[in-house]
Every structure is written in C-alpha cells, then in structure tokens.
A = this chain, B = another copy of it.
Amino acid sequence: MVTRREKTVTISDVARVAGVSVPTVSRVITGAARVSDDKRRRVLDAIASLGYRPSAAAQTLASKRSNVIGIVTGNTSRYGYAEAIRGVEEAARANGYLSFIVVVETAEPDDVTAATDAVLRQSPAGVVVLKFDPPGVAALAALQQHVPVVALSGVPESGVPQAVLDESHAAAALTRHLLGLGHRTVHHVRVPPSGKEDGRTSGWRRALLEAGVDVPPVRDVSWDPATAREIGRDLAAEPDVTAVFCGNDETAMGLIRGLHDAGKRVPEDVSVAGFDDHPLAAMFLPALTTARQDFAELGRHGLAQLQALLTGAQPLALDTVDPPVVVRESTGPVAS
C-alpha cells in the first residue's frame, strides 16, 4: 500500500532549477507572454525533471479565473442524465476544463441553496445545468445571477442560453404515427415532468387536438419501470386503449411487460411507443417504436454554448435538435 505524499514541487523550485524568475515560469506555463526559446526550453526541462504540476487552487486564487466547470443536475445515473453528463464532460475535457458534479436532490430551498453554494465556492468558469426536472429548474434560477450558466433542456425557453432537444415535435410525430395506424386516440403515460408540462406531453396533446380526437387523461409514473408495469396491467383491462405513447423507453418496456402480464400482446392488441431510443429499445421484444434523443450531443452543444458565453463570442443561435422518429415493432395497425 504505497500511499505516500511527496513534498509538493512548486513553481519556485522550477524557477530555481531552470535559473529563471518565477514569473517567467508562469509565462511559459500559461503562455501569457513570450519567453525566449532558450529559457522556455530550460523551464520545460525543469518542469519535466521535477514532475511539476501547477496548483489549481493557487492559479485560481491569483488569476481569479478557474478552469473548472460545474455540472448541476437532479440525477446522475438515469439514461438521459448520464448521457448528457457524458457529453458535457467530454466537451469540457476537450476544451481544457475539469468538470465537477453537484446534485440537487429536490427543489426545496435548502437543497437548492446547498447546491448553489457548493458550485459558487469553487469559482467555476461556468456552469451547465440539466434542466430536466424541478430541482434543475430551481438550481438554474438560483445560479443564473451569479455565474455564466447554460441550460440543457427539452423545451425551448427564453431568458437563458441553452441547448435544447425539441421533444414536443417528436412527441407529436409519434402520436400522429399512431393515429395514422388507425387508432381512435392515443393514451399517454407521463414520466416525472420538469415543470407543469413537458414537451413530450404537450406534443402529444397538440397532435391529438389537431386531429380532433379525444384527449384521454394522462397517467403518471415514477422513473422506476415497475410503476409503468402496474399501469400496463391496469390498462389491459380497458378495451378502448389500443395505443399508448410513453414518456420514455424504460416506461414503455415496463408498460409492455405489464400488458403482457395481463395477457395482452403488443402490438397486436395494443400499440406502444416509447421515447429516447434507449440502447435497449431495439433489443426489446417487441423492439420499440420511439424517437431518438441524442443526450450526449445535447451536452456537447451545451458546453459549446458555455464556451461562446465565456469567450464573449456571439451567443450561438438557439440550439435546437429535432429527435427523429424510429418505427420498429411495438406499434401497428389497430386490431380489426
């Protein structure tokens, strides 16, 4: 168990070994000013031979700029969240930033404040918040006035730089797909929304209204697919339910499982569409009809927005991506 801490090598050690002044070492490290080739080389050699690593804390304190960015989120491990975080982190790393994670458990003031404080204490260059749920929404509001922030979102909104995946368009398309198959209407199982209504739900509603068909009551589920399974069992008892649009693929899988438990077949008896195009959506039996969401790409766009914000470049145009619909096996014509 070799866990020994070596005495830290500082910039002045490097300066001494290289035979130059401390600021000169600083200059070659930061590239803030030109240094003669000769000295630069000596500094570089000294850095290499000493294994010198600048202290982020000292740099941040002295320069009042840091190279860390904060990722604020209500969750870290669920599919869309984890992928978005991956996208942000990848892009951040590619741009020389280090990412730290701050999770906001709930939208309660205490949690939001704790998260805000944790973020601000690090004096991050900027922050990306996953505005996917109420905690995210609350954290975004609290952070906005203190530090450069960009939001990752499912619905376009003004007031904050953001990258958005336009869910409502795809939700409407999926709903129309189902209607086009001959279903009288489309039921909707909603995953926990970020606000009063998400793009997925509003797109579904809009498509129904435009088609002039009934808008059945929404059913809510938690993120746990087991709750969707319950709903599936319930729905199996309602003969007029022939098509269901689910808020995400995990929910669709749970729902299908529940329908199956109750003896219903998908898509023969009821058609089910998911959302996201989860990596397992195509493996499921039946393979899910869904809308592909590229959360990692969303995260990358978010970081690009932040970069633009920080460098004072033109704020990028509102970054909207339309998730494409992918039709597979879980939806089909209404039984005759």
Is A181 an interface residue, CB under 8 A from the partner? no
Tell me if A32 is interfacial: C-beta within 8 Å of chain B: no
Q: Say whether, besides A123-B55, A146-B6, A83 and B77 are in contact (CB < 8 Å).
A: yes
The answer to whether B257 touches A283 (Cβ under 8 A) is yes
Stretch in A98-106, A192-200, A205-213, A234-242 with 4+ CB within 8 Å of B: A98-106
Which chain B residues border A318 with CB–CB below 8 Å?
A: none
Structural contact, B103 and A101, CB atoms closer than 8 A: no
Stretch of A19-27, A114-122, A130-138, A171-179 lying at the B interface: A114-122
Query: A89 to B61, Cβ gap below 8 A?
Result: no
User: Is A53 at the interface (CB under 8 A from chain B)?
Assistant: yes
Partner of A280, one of B100, B118, B250: B250
Q: Copies of this chain, how many? A: 2
Interface with B: A34-42, A182-190, A221-229, which one?
A: A221-229
Q: Pick the most buried of A60, A117, A149: most chain B CB atoms within 10 A of its CB.
A: A60
B123 lies within 8 A of A56 (CB): yes
The verdict on A280 contacting B282 (CB below 8 Å), with A101-B101, A118-B98 known, is: no
Do A257 and B279 touch (CB < 8 A)? no
Expressed in whole angstroms, the minimum distance between the Cβ of A265 and any Cβ of chain B is 11
How far apart sit A5 and B65, CA to CA, in the bound complex (Å)?
A: 13
| Interface: A292 (CB within 8 A) | no
Least Cβ–Cβ distance between A299 and chain B, in angstroms? 10
Main secondary structure of the interface of A (DSSP, over half): mixed
The 4 A-B pairs at the shortest CB distance, nearest first, are namely A77-B82, A100-B100, A57-B60, A257-B283
A148 to B3, CA, bound (A): 6
In the bound complex, residues from chain B placing their C-beta under 8 Å from that of A90 are 103
With contact pairs A101-B100, A122-B98, A145-B2 given, residues A260 and B285 touching in the complex (Cβ less than 8 Å):
yes
Contacts of A61 in B (CB 8 A): 55, 57-58, 61
> Which B residues touch A144, using CB under 8 A?
2-3
B283 near A254 with CB under 8 A, answer yes
Closest chain B residue to A58, Cβ basis: B61
Q: Mark A274-302, 1 if CB is under 8 A from B, else 0.
A: 00000110111101000000001000000
Are B145 and A1 in contact (CB-based, < 8 A)? Answer: no
**A109 lies within 8 A of chain B by Cβ:** no
